[in-house]
Structure 1
Amino acid sequence: MATNLSTRPQTTSKAKKFWLSGLIKSPRKIIAPLIAIAIFLLIWQLLTSGENPNLPSPITAFKETWDPLIINPFFDNGGTDKGLFWQIFASLKRVAIGFSLAAIVGIALGVLVGANPLMYDALDPLFQVLRTIPPLAWLPISLAALRQSDPSAIFVIFITAIWPIIINTTVGVQQIPQDYRNVSKVLQLSKTEYFFNILIPSAVPYIFTGLRVGIGLSWLAIIAAEMLVGGVGIGFFIWDAYNSSRMSQIILALIYVGVIGLILDRLVGFVANLVLPEEQKK
């Protein structure tokens, strides 16, 4: 009972330390990016300030998307006429399902392949071939098999994210130090004890590397997939805005896409920071 109670403050202190370390850093961590963004916006404004520019200027894009996309992202007029909140929420829901399935299957397969030399020799060539197939090349196959847009988009997420998770987990299992294996033999650990006390802790840094790459690829893939399958989603929103020549809406959507992608990456990094032991953090 005492052990369980002692672990909670440690986890909480890790979270506080993670956030406070970022806040205590020098002001240039905040000021420098703001200056870079200001310079970027200035250059963009200058390049698009002529007559009939191909792209809207930052000021024009802001004015054209202020009402209702910026001030009211929650509107819902039915069908695909929804605010950006609902567009992004639909995309995130697909990513959450596809990425979760990829994480479960990918980690399990990575452990199996990494721990079994025969399975590695049999499956690694197949994995290396399949992982080079572009994500959207799977979309016609998934549409033909599943007959519905939502499951097809989720499958594209799954097949995109699973390869870095499998490969990194496999490498992590294979990189377990021989000393650890020798200790497990000396202590006569059971397979279950070896799995939870040695294999998983040793492979965790590699697993989170795969998860971090996988979540980024998932977010990239869903945007492209939604452009083709249609329905509610930020990818279809961008494609629909392009077909209607609403360039300012595309620019606003791209900003949202970039911010959400950054948040997803940092979220996985935050979880990894809580899970990884201090000596395994860079």
Structure 2
Amino acid sequence: MKKEIYKKILFPLIVLVVLIQVWSGIAAMVEDFPTPSDTYIYAFGGETSDGDELEGVLSDPFYVENQDDKGVFWQIVASLERVFSGFGLAVLVGVPLGLVIGMSKNFQYAFEPFIQIFKPVSPLAWLPLLLFVFQDIDATAISTIFVTSIWPIIINTALGVKNVNQDYLNVAKVLQFSPIEKVFKIILPVAVPYIFTGMRLSLGIAWLVIVAAEMLTGGIGIGFWIWDEYNNLSYHNIIIGIILVGIIGFILDVIMGKIADYFDYRKKM
């Protein structure tokens, strides 16, 4: 067990060292490309290689200058609010629809072609149309997240329903369960692990989409903040933003993974 823990710590550290070396190599070849050391200073503050004293982006992430000028913490919070709003709507619509599709062949025949058509459509394709419809930054971002993250929930929920053992359904017939009783007592207990797998995938897509959506819609949010730093030629801050997006995405995935494991009866057997 201890050996496994050491490996989980040591191997990522080795990869991190390699990545930093590759990063340093790119910085040496590309003029004005941010170095790892300067990026660290831009993040936490200190003296740069040019002799400039800087206050890092992460040294005061909670500042609020005005409505449009806020610290990176508030940028992340604004993005997460949009993500969970769109994700929540996707869950509310996707789970019932997935249950119905999984339980009824007719609904499956009706919806499956449209799911397969719309599932691969890029969020950037939806964004202009939704912006035209809603004329609002938040509503556009939320609806874009909803329409692009709902598909894994529908597909995995339907898959969970189809994996219900036919013997269980026969028992439900013998006991004369109502459709609601059959869903809550037979289908959902089996389908829940699949539903949470779909939700985990959906949340990852939602966090992925929000960065692109905010870059194009503007306002406050980590995506717009990265784009704004690009316009200001602050390439160090772009890298900091990329790392923050990755860390937040990793944390969200770990949390959803833990929740999915908790509700997965297969791991408790």
Same fold (TM over 0.5): yes
Task: Return the letter of the residue paired with 1:126.
Answer: F
**Which residue number in structure 2 is paired with residue 35 of structure 1?**
14
User: Match of 2:98, as an amino acid?
Assistant: G
Aligned to 1:83: 71
Contact 2:42–2:56 (8 Å) recurs in 1: no
Match among 26, 39, 55 for residue 61 of structure 1: 39
> 116, 125, 145: which is aligned to 1:128?
116
SS of 2:66's partner is coil
Contact 1:61 1:252 in 2 (8 A): yes
Q: Report which stretch shifted further, 221-230 or 59-68.
A: 59-68
CA distance in 2, matches of 1:24, 1:104: 43
Residue 204 of structure 1 and its aligned partner are, at CA, apart by 1.1
Amino acid at match of 2:123: P
1:172–1:207 CA contact under 8 A, matched in 2? yes
The yes-or-no answer on 1:229 pairing with 2:217 is yes
Distance 1:151 1:24 in 2: 49
Q: Does 1:104 align with 2:104?
A: no
**Secondary structure at the residue paired with 1:69?**
coil
Give the Cα–Cα distance (whole angstroms) in 2 for the partners of residues 161 and 105 of structure 1.
Answer: 11
Task: Go from structure 1 to structure 2 and tell me whether the alpha carbon gap of 1:26 and 1:63 turns closer, same or farther (over 3 Å shift).
Answer: closer
Contact residue 261 and residue 267 of structure 2 kept, 8 A: no
How far is 1:46 from its partner? 3.4
Partners of 1:64 and 1:26 in 2: CA distance: 32
Map of 2:26 onto structure 1:
47
Deviation at 1:281, TM superposition (A): 6.7
| Residue 234 (structure 1) shift | 0.4
Q: Residue 204 of structure 2 aligns with which residue?
A: 216
Tell me how far apart the structure 2 counterparts of residues 118 and 40 of structure 1 sit (CA, whole Å).
51
Query: Using CA pairs below 8 Å that are at least 6 residues apart, which structure has the higher relative contact order?
Result: 1
Conserved 8 A contact 1:156-1:225: yes
Measured at CA, do residues 55 and 141 of structure 1 come closer, stay the same or move farther in structure 2, by a change above 3 Å? Answer: same
| Secondary structure in structure 2 of the residue aligned to 1:26 | helix
- The answer (yes or no) to whether the contact 1:114–1:170 under 8 Å persists in 2 is yes
Offset at 1:25?
A: 4.7
Question: Gaps (5+ residues) in structure 2?
Answer: 46-54
Displacement of 1:79 after TM fit? Answer: 3.2
Separation in 2, partners of 1:86, 1:137: 28
Q: CA deviation at 1:42?
A: 2.5
Deviation at 1:74, TM superposition (A): 0.7
Which position in structure 2 is the counterpart of 1:4? none
* Partner AA of 1:195 in structure 2: V
Change in CA separation of 1:47 and 1:136 when aligned onto 2, cut-off 3 Å: closer
Of 187, 190, 195, which aligns to 2:183?
A: 195
Q: Distance in 2 between matches of 1:280 and 1:122?
A: 34
| Residues in 1 aligned to 2:28 and 2:208: alpha-carbon distance in whole angstroms | 31
TM-score by length of 1: 0.87
Query: Residues 118-147 of structure 1: CA distance to partner in whole angstroms, max 9, x if unpaired?
Result: 111111111211112111211111111111
CA contact (8 A) 1:212 1:269 kept: yes
Deviations for 1:155-202, whole angstroms, at most 9, x for unmatched residues? 001011101111111111122111111121223323222111111011
Q: Which one is further off, 187-196 or 241-250?
A: 187-196
The answer to whether the 8 A contact 1:205-1:280 is kept is no
Deviations 1:208-267 (A, max 9, x none): 111111011100100000000000000001111111110000000100000000011111
Two-structure CA RMSD over aligned residues (Å): 1.9
Q: Deviations over 1:3-45 (max 9, x none)?
A: xxxxxxxxxxxxxxxxxx9x99522111221221122112322
- Structure 1 gaps, min length 5: 1-20
> Offset of 1:116 from its aligned partner?
1.4
Q: Give deviations 1:63-121, integer Å, cap 9, x for gaps.
A: 23322312111111113321110110000000010001101100011011111111111
DSSP-derived class of the 2:110 partner: helix
